A and B are shown apart, each in its own frame.
Chain A
């Protein structure tokens, strides 16, 4: 199968690779970039565990080919905390609110919530539930996650770091 070049930026670093057209962005990030924080929970776009930001938009990386991300700026879970390890507001809220247990779905939640709160800084509880409905968790019953998003939204409104 012929390979094609892709050029993209991942967590602020330029990557130039040659890939099969059928390689998903998720597998590109995991296998080529060795960024294994992006997890695959279904590979058919329902569970949301593989969510990353592509040019700022929350995208299911299992449903996108790496070649479709040519020229894009991609942020994965590894690019969310500050380089010295300080958690983002969203990450800290998940920790504070017991918003994760096994942690497998967590990167997808952190990425989609990060994008959601950027676009909807003052969400209602109903909007939070809607925003989370595309990401599946099997451990927490969503209780801690709902609290975490509320905490992160409130912290954002108080002007704390996000």
Chain B
């Protein structure tokens, strides 16, 4: 059963409704930030450090300023003093953040660090001028390898006094000594994940437009969080919040990279009042790969204890992550999630963790789809290694340990209170879809023919839809306009998450109107209520709550007007197809156009107590502190042991996101995340050389998956309603969590005849050939 947002009949929720975003996006009529063009608009280009670490002795901007078409060249001395406050709402003003000078001041701390900002009449001239800015650098020894950084002599941030940003720990190894001592099997391994990044097809970008006369700043942004950009900017510049307006219509993907304001963006905000005319900065791909942030890049020593039957007795993870020079935000709390979630959807009686975050002279860590996904990678890869060492089937080992429905609610040993999940069900469904036994027979036959097939599985449980603090509320305004058509105003913003379509589906059902009669307006802080944006797999559930709350108010009013006019009881009025009619007498009714005309043009005819007009605003507060969601990924592959080439054959995802609002959207999110995870497992590497020079700053070097590499993804759905509105759960991030371990396990399984242990990503052909050669 699919629910609806406010008790109407479900017609559009649950259906594969065509997206409302598509008409403009398919015809070149979308509005991305680079499509904004304003009268008198200038163009910005950054001068960036070519060194991983260097003292900045002097900057000579005279040649650049002398170039025709150049209007301004800003350095740290010009922009940095303008900073009033600098903090994100989700972190609060007291977070022990890294000092983030907008432009590098005194020292450049990674190759790509912004050192000066050129503003010129065209981007071409701005780039020419950037080449003319003379920076006197004094290169310094750089901290490049995060694994060595703790004991390195050089410090990334002298003022911090250490390259260790922070550390959070649960139970210590000594507290678990008895568990590991008593275990029949103890398996230890160190698992490494390389740096890779969100890499949205559209990079970051802003157009800032400050009016000195009114003191108003308008920002057009590529962002997942328009309201947070406004708040951040108002704090940064000390402008009243209502004098700042942030607008985004279409954002070309974010995946976490566009949920926080970074230093480059701060520079544009600070420059805006000094320039006084509109300025556009849109990063190119090189800048995106140099400076927009990296993710992943981490390792952990993992230890699992099993009894003689393979039941997990204890789990410990000692996790270290590379946060670069300027992580946004402070990374220590997110790193703790790796430890807290490490037990996963399994019955794990005892667990402990240490999570450490490290500074290096590389690009700063930024959020990426499932920022804590290393917990699943480490656990699932080590489960397969354990199964191999213990001589049991990895499927059987998981089946023995997965949580069953009758054990819920279940609090994991780190205090994570799982509920409304179905790990065993998704697992069995995915394996049934594969035909696991048949695959094992096929694999055995192939091996006798010298071919290396493999199967890999991963399970995860993920906290979606944070229901606390800044994330815990979302608002909607719904207007039935005087003609009877409907506009839904929601903070939202289209970043590829189909949130416009989702809102239209939910509002149509909630009010009983035709879907074509509903439009939605999002992403403009001047006309929408505050919302925390597209992050944390929260948009579906939180928006459903906002539409439900608002539509409930409006529905009551519509029913009252209709009942009054039709001389019927409100309980007898039905809303459907943009009409209110009397139950059992469908011919007796009023169209929404007629109802709206009464509400707006004949206020005297309304029943007592019903206000004129037909609009309402309401704010939803999350029903649950978190909504858990789970999935199983199963992948098969063939590995060419000579060339190291991996071909993924079948890819199955069985997920439990509760009832689906739109299966196309759900499957699209799963597919996108999964292929990003496949990219991370096999191809993508935001690599640096040993001196800290980035060596993957084009798409020739940073390898995204293409249509020739991806398998056909098969979907299985299990539906356990969440405690949230409609029973929905978040589904934006999971694919990127589940995919890497499934792929790694499949490759390791294929290579098992060689006796190799796979512990490092990416599984490039060279890496696979090396593993086989060493065996």
Contacts and interface: CB of A to CB of B under 8 A. Distances in A.
A59 interface: no
A145 B712 CA distance: 11
A144 B26 CA distance: 14
A76 B19 CA distance: 23
A38 B28 CA distance: 7
Contacts of B31: 36
B26 A100 contact: yes
B467 to A, nearest CB: 26
Contacts of A65: none
B698 interface: yes
Contacts of B285: 41-44, 47
A81 interface: yes
A122 interface: no
Nearest to B674: A141
Contact of A136 (B28, B495, B706, B712): B706
B699 A138 contact: no
Contact of B28 (A37, A139, A143): A37
Contact of B712 (A23, A35, A143): A143
B601 interface: no
A46 B32 contact: no
Contacts of A31: 37
A103 B496 contact: yes
A91 interface: yes
Interface string A118-162: 000000000011101111111111111110000000000000000
A133 B26 contact: no
Contact of A138 (B24, B32, B199): B199
A105 interface: yes
A137 B201 contact: yes
A103 B21 contact: yes
A53 interface: no
Nearest to B123: A27
A22 interface: yes
B643 to A, nearest CB: 18
Contact of B25 (A43, A106, A136, A141): A106
A13 B199 CA distance: 36
Interface string B706-731: 11101011000000000000000000
A18 to B, nearest CB: 15
Nearest to B32: A104
B282 to A, nearest CB: 8
B255 interface: yes
B668 A98 contact: yes
A40 B495 CA distance: 17
B497 interface: yes
Contacts, number: 184
Contact of B18 (A44, A95, A105): A95
A36 B252 CA distance: 14
Contacts of B710: 141-143
A134 B285 CA distance: 16
A44 B700 contact: yes
Interface residues of B, number: 58
Interface in B642-673: 664-665, 667-668, 671-673
A46 B30 contact: no
Contact of A87 (B26, B124, B284): B26
A136 B78 CA distance: 39
A37 B28 CA distance: 4
Given A142-B675, A145-B707, A37 B29 contact: yes
A95 B28 contact: no
A10 interface: no
A68 interface: no
A135 B735 CA distance: 22
B28 A36 contact: yes
Contacts of B667: 98, 143
Contacts of A107: 28
Interface in B19-42: 19, 21-32, 34-35, 37
Contact of B32 (A39, A81, A146): A39
Interface string A11-51: 00000000010110000001100111111111110110100
Nearest to A136: B704
B202 A37 contact: no
A133 B22 contact: no
B27 A101 contact: no
B250 interface: yes
B694 interface: no
A22 B250 CA distance: 29
A46 B700 contact: yes
A117 to B, nearest CB: 15
Looking at B22, B124, B497, the one whose CB has the most chain A CB atoms below 10 A away is B22
6 contacts: A22-B124, A36-B31, A94-B26, A132-B707, A138-B255, A140-B672
Interface of A: 20, 22-23, 30-31, 34-44, 46-47, 49, 76-78, 80-81, 85, 87, 91, 94-96, 98, 100-107, 110, 128-130, 132-146
Given A39-B252, A46-B698, A138-B200, 16 more contacts: A22-B124, A30-B34, A31-B37, A37-B30, A39-B32, A40-B34, A87-B26, A94-B22, A95-B19, A96-B18, A100-B19, A101-B672, A103-B24, A104-B30, A136-B706, A141-B705
Interface of B: 16, 18-19, 21-32, 34-35, 37, 124, 198-202, 250-253, 255, 284-285, 494-498, 664-665, 667-668, 671-676, 698-700, 704-708, 710, 712-713, 735
Closest 10 pairs (CB-CB, A-B): A37-B28, A103-B25, A102-B496, A104-B252, A141-B675, A141-B671, A77-B28, A46-B699, A132-B707, A101-B496
